[in-house]
Amino acid sequence: MPMETAAPGRPRDQKVGLALKAAALRLVREKGYQNVSVAEILKLSGVARQSLYNRWKTKADLVMEAFFEDAGTRVRPPEFRPGQPARAELERFLNEVFDHLAASDGTLRSLIAAAQADPEFCRLFHDSFVQPREEMVVDFLAEAQRRGELPAGRDPAMLAVFIHGAFWYRLLNGQPMDPALARAIAAAAFGD
Amino acid sequence: MPMETAAPGRPRDQKVGLALKAAALRLVREKGYQNVSVAEILKLSGVARQSLYNRWKTKADLVMEAFFEDAGTRVRPPEFRPGQPARAELERFLNEVFDHLAASDGTLRSLIAAAQADPEFCRLFHDSFVQPREEMVVDFLAEAQRRGELPAGRDPAMLAVFIHGAFWYRLLNGQPMDPALARAIAAAAFGD
DNA sequence: GTGATAAATAGACTGCGGTCTACTAAATGG
DNA sequence: CCATTTAGTAGACCGCAGTCTATTTATCAC
């Protein structure tokens, strides 16, 4: 148990933050990021405006935390399983990511958009969300290379950038994120 | 000369649109998209608010037109030149794009962000800006393949998505767009 | 208990993009 | 000349995200 350093002043009420995240998550799922106002989140959670901005700098910060707190558990990372070729596993992973994105409507798109106007949020979003997912793929590809399933000449880090880049590019241009894309990406990464 | 179909009512004053584009271009170059308000553009151009929204649906529409009207002439498309390998030409092209983006600060980032909240603008931006540039690369890669400089097994269309995707991904995550990236992209596209 | 500190609440306020209304001005066809 | 139609101007107006101020409340140290 960590020694709590007993900060002075009134302690934060956990319920306030939880209520805000719960309200934000529910409303964004129901209506989409664009169509949810901060005022609505405050009304549903029954919390005062300042209490939100005491915890998060922007609406995007709150929604990112509410939305992706468990997102890491929704998509199973790529891993080696007996009898499963690396290429097929990458394809499976991509399809799960696409499904998750489809279920979450345009939330990722909105958060990426928010990051373009806010360097601080851009870094936070990258460090806490984008980078870890990129590294999962890098590690997986490096292992595939070690096992001889990926040609030796390729750079796993660069391949991961291409893979995520292709998927961002399609997402941000409003184009379909379907199994055909997953197949094409996996084929390009592993193909000759 | 096209038969002008003599629309009824007062004709549009060309100067109004030109003044708006000139003001928008100058202010965005000076201060960046985020830091320019519509009110400023109106003040500098000496035009009324409604006149702007008669011509463009949003600030993003105006800035896109003002900013990229001549952008097509700034970057020389990839083309085959005697003694110039396709891979080197692609690298040159990417470096010119990166330079142009650096000079235009975050304008492309802001327009991509605006597109995420506005499906109509997303389509317009894609059709009039993104797609043509993508096709330039596809055509170039297809020609390289025909000439035997690009391995036969690869799909030029998919490669173009990877190339643009990688560059969008880096751009939108606030990472450097430097010659090293251009080299890595060209190497991955043409390398074994 | 007293004072200090910080959380929570309520609500006014700012600047923004975009819409709306009212009015004037320039072209058309009759 | 007159009716119609559209462009342009001026400025009020709306909902938004985020800031600020004032007040109350909960917890410390003493």
Over residues B15-48, the pLDDT tens digits come to 999 999 999 999 999 999 999 999 999 999 999 9
- What is the band of A123 on the pLDDT scale with cuts at 50, 70, 90? very high
Cα dihedral B178, B183, A132, B112 in deg (nearest 10): 60
Q: CA A137 to CA A79: how far, in whole Å?
A: 9
Asked if A165 reaches chain B (Cβ–Cβ under 8 Å), the answer is yes
Query: What value does the mean pLDDT take over residues B49-66?
Result: 98
Residue whose Cα is closest to the C1' of C18: B58
The dihedral of CA B4, B5, B10, B15: what is its sign? negative
- What is the band of B115 on the pLDDT scale with cuts at 50, 70, 90? very high
- The answer to whether the Cβ–Cβ distance between B166 and A162 falls below 8 Å is yes
What CATH number is given for B14-57 in this structure? 1.10.10.60
What CATH number is given for B71-190 in this structure? 1.10.357.10
Q: Out of B116, B167, B188, name the one closest to residue A112 (CB).
A: B116
How many residues are there in chain A?
192
According to the model, what pLDDT value does residue B8 have?
Answer: 87
Interface of B with A in 131-160 (CB under 8 A): 151, 153-155, 158-159
What does the mean pLDDT of chain A come to?
94
- Phi/psi for A155 (5° steps) reads -100, 110
Q: CA A30 to CA B55: how far, in whole Å?
A: 34
Please write the tens of the pLDDT for every residue from A44-79: 999 999 999 999 999 999 999 998 886 767 889 999
Asked if A113 reaches chain B (Cβ–Cβ under 8 Å), the answer is yes
Å from B72 (CA) to C23 (C1')?
A: 42
Q: Cα angle vertex A39, ends A33, A43, to 5°?
A: 110
Å from B29 (CA) to D15 (C1')?
A: 29
Task: Name which residue leads in pLDDT, B130 or B70.
Answer: B130
Contacts of A115 in chain B (CB under 8 A): 172-174
Asked if A4 reaches chain B (Cβ–Cβ under 8 Å), the answer is no
CA A27 to chain centre: 18
Chain A, chain B: beta-carbon pairs less than 8 Å apart: 101
Query: What value does the mean pLDDT take over residues B110-127?
Result: 98
Query: What value does the mean pLDDT take over residues B6-18?
Result: 92
Report if CB A153 to strand C is under 7 Å: no
According to the model, what pLDDT value does residue A105 have?
Answer: 82
Contacts of B109 in chain A (CB under 8 A): 116
Nearest nucleotide (CA of A41 to C1'): D17
Report if CB A13 to strand C is under 7 Å: yes
Pick the residue of B108, B173, B178, B185 with the most A CBs within 10 A to test the interface with A by mutation: B173
Q: CA A184 to CA B162: how far, in whole Å?
A: 11
The proportion of chain A whose per-residue pLDDT surpasses 90, expressed as a percent, equals 87
Query: What value does the mean pLDDT take over residues B146-172?
Result: 96
Q: Out of A116, A130, A174, name the one closest to residue B119 (CB).
A: A174
What does the mean pLDDT of chain B come to?
94
Same fold, B14-57 and B71-190: no
Report if CB B128 to strand C is under 7 Å: no
CB neighbours of residue A89 within 10 Å: 20
Global ipTM = 0.94
pLDDT exceeds cutoff 60 at B2: no
How is chain A split into domains, by residue range?
14-57, 71-190
Contacts of B113 (CB under 8 A, 6+ apart): A112, A113, A114, A116, A117
Task: Check if the beta carbon of residue A188 is closer than 8 Å to that of residue B158.
Answer: yes
Tokens representing B75 are 């970057």
